[in-house]
Amino acid sequence: MQRAARALVTALCLGTAWAAASAQQLANATEATGKVVVAGVVPDEATRVAVVARLRELYGAERVVDQLTLGSVVAPPQWGQHVQKLLSPSLKQVSHGQLSVQGQTIELKGEVGNEAQRQQIVSDMAQSLNPTYSVRNGLRVAVREQAVVDQALANRIVEFEPGSAVLRPQGQLILNEMATALAQLRGRRIELIGHTDALGARPANISLSLARAQAVKAHLVARGLPADSLSTSGMGPDQPLASNDTEEGRARNRRIEFRVGS
């Protein structure tokens, strides 16, 4: 019986090793500082050559360590082309990273410099693929203050009533926890960025996303945070985290982003 296609491909952020397939390979790759290790199983030689060539194009031939093997795996349609799209220059913004491609499930781990990068890199990946692919964002911001915020939010969604800027009770509870975390960041500015799904007209979604960010600010100020430490903006549907073709994807895209500034 043939297995589903799986390949774990890796890339390098300058000066740090990315990791690969199994836990043992992960340890081995980490030791290979300064190298790009690409490991896993691919369905044919053409795919192997294309993946390795793309990595060498991005990082230089001398940095790429090819540990890919061929196996009896069945790739989804145009799988090789989609993997090529994932190997983009934006990966260079990630350090201590691991890009895992297992069939149609993509997972990206590692550190980036700010929350905007964390959101944008995965958003670009999701938009480059078709809706049958899912991208898991395991990136984290290599800043202590942003880590405090990300851990408090814990990938939860601040929920609003449909089509409005009225917070739902669960959203209020999440914001109460966020207020406690944000109170630790004295002297730092926090940008509250609203996002929507792609349903409806874009101008209306831009306005709605801003109104929701402003509602979040009002709630946090009522919980004791200084108003001048909080700024708001609305991106509407322009920075999706997932496909807008499914309800699950649209739910992930309707979110409030908390970005720590200076």
Whether residue 46 contacts residue 75, with contact meaning beta carbons closer than 8 Å, is answered with no
105 and 18: one domain? yes
Most confident of 48-52, 123-127, 178-182: 178-182
What average pLDDT score do residues 136-152 get?
83
Query: Which of 260, 178, 256 is CA-nearest to residue 211?
Result: 256
**Residue 27, domain CATH:** 3.40.1520.20
pTM greater than 0.75 (yes/no) = no
Which residue range is the domain that position 12 belongs to?
3-141
The stretch 82-86 carries a mean pLDDT of 87
Distance CA 253, CA 231 (A): 20
Cα separation, 137 vs 155, in Å, equals: 10
What are the DSSP calls for 99-122, one per residue? EEEETTEEEEEEEESSHHHHHHHH
Of the residues 141, 170, 191, which one is the last residue of a structural domain? 141
pLDDT at 140: 79
Number of domains in the chain: 2
Which of 117, 141, 165 corresponds to the end of one domain? 141
Q: What is the pLDDT of residue 228?
A: 94
Beta carbons within 8 Å of 23's beta carbon, 6+ residues apart = none
Residues 99 and 200 in one domain: no
Q: For residues 97 and 83, what is the distance between their CA atoms, to the nearest angstrom?
A: 17
